[in-house]
Amino acid sequence: MTSRNNEAWISDLRTPGPARESALEDLRAIIQKGLPYALSRWLSSDNPLFPGLVDEVTQDTLLRVIDQLKTFEGRSQFTTWVHKIAVRIALTELRRKRWRDSSLDELTDNEDAPPPAGLLSDSSASPETSAERGELLQRIQRIIEEELTDKQREALILLGMQDMPMEDAARKMKTNRNALYKLLHDARLRLKRRLADEDIHPQEALALFSQK
């Protein structure tokens, strides 16, 4: 593996041909080496689905890096920037696929990943649980209406409830990914403060929705 500084990474990746191919292969190895540790809180590397996830995330990350090279500002090591992109993509995939190893608390605490979807569709819940869920959902809906701006609310609904991919949500809202991330980040901060004021914890919601 070739040793590169930030400028060398950018230069090689912008140069079609052997230099770019070599840089991409080195990045592939770096990403695949780092993902098992980065995702260990959510998915074991022993899980038979893990290799497929790593391959998919690696390929998506390389494409994203090439597409977003101009956005790298050099405030960190280039490989650190790439690693963050890889983890963001992986967490989004975990959310989208609704894998059971995903934790509501862990994922919603990550600024670069939307909250996991699929929490509103447990048809086997008991009547008691359904009643509790209905009450909790009404409280959360009220909080969302009172605390969030129209844009923040739309972003939360599209990504957190309708499970819309980030790119599609950005197009629908006529904005870009960075602006959408900022909307989600600000919305989470406001909701966390309000939920805390009303003694509602994300893990409480997860436990409620997972009851049979």
pLDDT tens for each residue of the chain, 212 residues long: 778 999 999 999 998 899 999 999 999 999 999 888 888 877 788 888 888 889 989 999 999 999 989 999 888 899 999 998 998 888 877 776 654 443 434 444 444 443 333 333 344 445 555 565 667 667 777 777 888 888 888 887 777 666 677 888 888 899 888 888 888 888 878 877 887 777 766 555 444 434 43
Q: Which pLDDT score, from 0 to 100, does residue 131 have?
A: 62
Whether the CB-CB separation of 152 and 179 falls below 8 Å is answered with no
CA proximity to 187, closest of 152, 143, 141: 152
Instruction: Write down the domain spans for the chain.
Output: 6-108, 127-209
Whole-number Å distance between alpha carbons of 157 and 199: 22
Q: Which CATH architecture has domain 6-108?
A: Orthogonal Bundle (1.10)
Fold held by 127-209: Arc Repressor Mutant, subunit A (1.10.10)
Query: 70: which residues sit within 8 A by CB, 6+ positions away?
Result: none
Whole-number Å distance between alpha carbons of 129 and 142: 20
6-108 and 127-209 have identical folds: no
The single-letter code of the amino acid at 9 is W
Q: Which pLDDT score, from 0 to 100, does residue 9 have?
A: 95
Model-wide pTM > 0.75: no
CA atoms within 13 A on the CB side of 14: 10
Q: Which pLDDT score, from 0 to 100, does residue 87 have?
A: 87
Q: Which pLDDT score, from 0 to 100, does residue 145 have?
A: 81
Whether the CB-CB separation of 152 and 186 falls below 8 Å is answered with yes
